[in-house]
Every structure is written in structure tokens, then in C-alpha cells.
């Protein structure tokens, strides 16, 4: 059991027979009445995001989550294969459970697979990934880094806004939390 006063972003808890990850939290001490903790939680089974309020000092069960390093192998219809890099065991995940992550996944990419008592809950991506530009309008002489942005479609199908100087074939560093352009890869 863990007190809600000890919440941290990324903590996994068990509430109402579901597994939740703390996305945001805020301690609130009103002038009148008892203190409470307002939190934004993501359901690891369904991906739904809920806001929940707890009384200060309330106890919740901490969920024991196992992260296993796995490698994304291939897509087989609407199923996607991953291989444990230590035991070489393979698992398949349905497309609907990793729809957001598929925008960043490339074959042979290492990821963390999240498990709870043997049940696979999803895939955790690295903070940034390197992807290649598949299609974008060509840059025009005189465009600068601070002069605005244009859309670019990456090899995985993800569309991001990039500076004008980015061309087709460039490798970019993309932030996986908000699908944004970070910089050009070296």
C-alpha cells in the first residue's frame, strides 16, 4: 500500500480492480475543509484517461509491473510480434492495444513490454526515436530554422510539423510523448 501523498508521475497503482499509471497529480489544501490529491490516471488495460480525487493520506495498492526488454519483429495482419531479447520467447500483441506506439515502431527496435502478473498491458517506447522523412515539400533557398514549419510524413506513416530546411530522406529525432520534431539526427 502507498499513500496518495507519495504519488509520483509514472507510478502504477491498483484502483477499482484496474491498473492505472499516474500521469499528473496535484496536492490541494483548501482554506476550508480537508486537503486532497487531484490526479490524472491512465488505465493501462484500456488506455482511457480519468481524473480522480483522493483524500489526503488515503492508501492505494501499488501495482507490481514487470518491464521486459523486447524487440519488435514484424507485423502479421493486425497482430504484431515481439521477441524477448534474453529468452527469445515471442509474443503477439493486437494492433488495437498498441495503436499509438505503432506510429513510432520500426522492425528490430528495442522497447519495454509492460506486464502485470503475466498479462501484457502494452509497450513503453523510448523518449525519442529516429525516423526517416518519407515525404515532404522541398525546402526553398532562404528558409530558416525559425521561419515556420511544414508537414512531413515519416516512414512509419506519422505526420509531424518540421522546419522548412528538412528534406525527404533526412533522419529526424521525434519525441514519442507528443509526436513532435526535436532535431535532425547526426
Instruction: Write out the CATH class of domain 2-62.
Output: mainly beta
Distance CA 28, CA 35 (A): 6
Q: What is the pLDDT of residue 143?
A: 54
In the structure grid, which three cell numbers stand for residue 71, read together? 524487440
Q: Do domains 66-124 and 128-184 have the same CATH topology?
A: yes
pTM comes to 0.72
CB hemisphere CA count around 88 (13 angstroms): 0
Q: What is the pLDDT of residue 148?
A: 77
Task: List pLDDT tens digits, range 128-181.
Answer: 999 999 999 886 666 555 567 889 999 999 999 998 888 899 999 999 888 899
Cβ-based neighbours of 143, under 8 Å, separated by 6 or more: 163, 164, 165
Q: What is the pLDDT of residue 23?
A: 85
Q: What is the pLDDT of residue 42?
A: 85
Topology annotation, domain 128-184: OB fold (Dihydrolipoamide Acetyltransferase, E2P) (2.40.50)
End-to-end CA distance of the chain: 46
Helices in 6-121 by DSSP H: which ranges?
Answer: none
Residues of the chain with pLDDT under 70: 139-147
Question: What CATH code is assigned to 66-124?
Answer: 2.40.50.140
**Structural domain boundaries in the chain:** 2-62, 66-124, 128-184
Distance CA 174, CA 183 (A): 7
Amino acid at each position: 500500500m502507498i499513500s496518495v501523498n507519495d504519488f509520483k508521475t509514472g507510478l502504477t497503482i491498483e484502483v477499482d480492480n484496474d491498473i492505472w499509471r499516474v500521469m499528473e497529480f496535484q496536492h490541494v489544501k483548501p482554506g476550508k475543509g480537508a486537503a486532497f490529491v487531484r490526479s490524472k490516471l491512465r488505465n493501462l488495460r484500456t488506455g482511457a484517461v480519468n481524473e480522480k480525487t483522493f483524500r489526503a493520506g488515503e492508501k492505494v495498492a501499488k501495482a507490481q509491473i514487470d518491464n521486459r526488454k523486447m524487440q519488435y519483429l514484424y507485423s502479421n495482419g493486425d497482430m504484431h510480434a515481439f521477441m524477448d531479447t534474453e529468452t527469445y520467447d515471442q509474443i503477439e500483441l493486437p494492433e488495437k492495444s498498441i495503436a499509438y506506439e505503432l506510429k513510432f515502431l520500426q522492425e528490430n527496435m528495442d522497447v519495454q513490454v509492460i506486464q502485470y502478473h503475466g498479462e501484457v498491458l502494452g509497450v513503453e517506447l523510448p523518449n525519442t526515436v529516429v525516423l526517416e522523412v518519407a515525404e515532404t515539400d522541398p525546402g526553398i533557398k532562404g528558409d530558416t530554422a525559425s521561419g515556420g514549419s511544414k508537414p512531413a510524413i515519416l516512414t512509419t506513416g506519422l505526420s509531424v510539423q518540421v522546419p522548412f530546411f528538412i528534406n525527404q530522406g533526412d533522419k529526424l529525432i521525434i519525441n514519442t510523448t507528443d509526436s513532435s520534431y526535436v532535431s535532425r539526427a547526426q
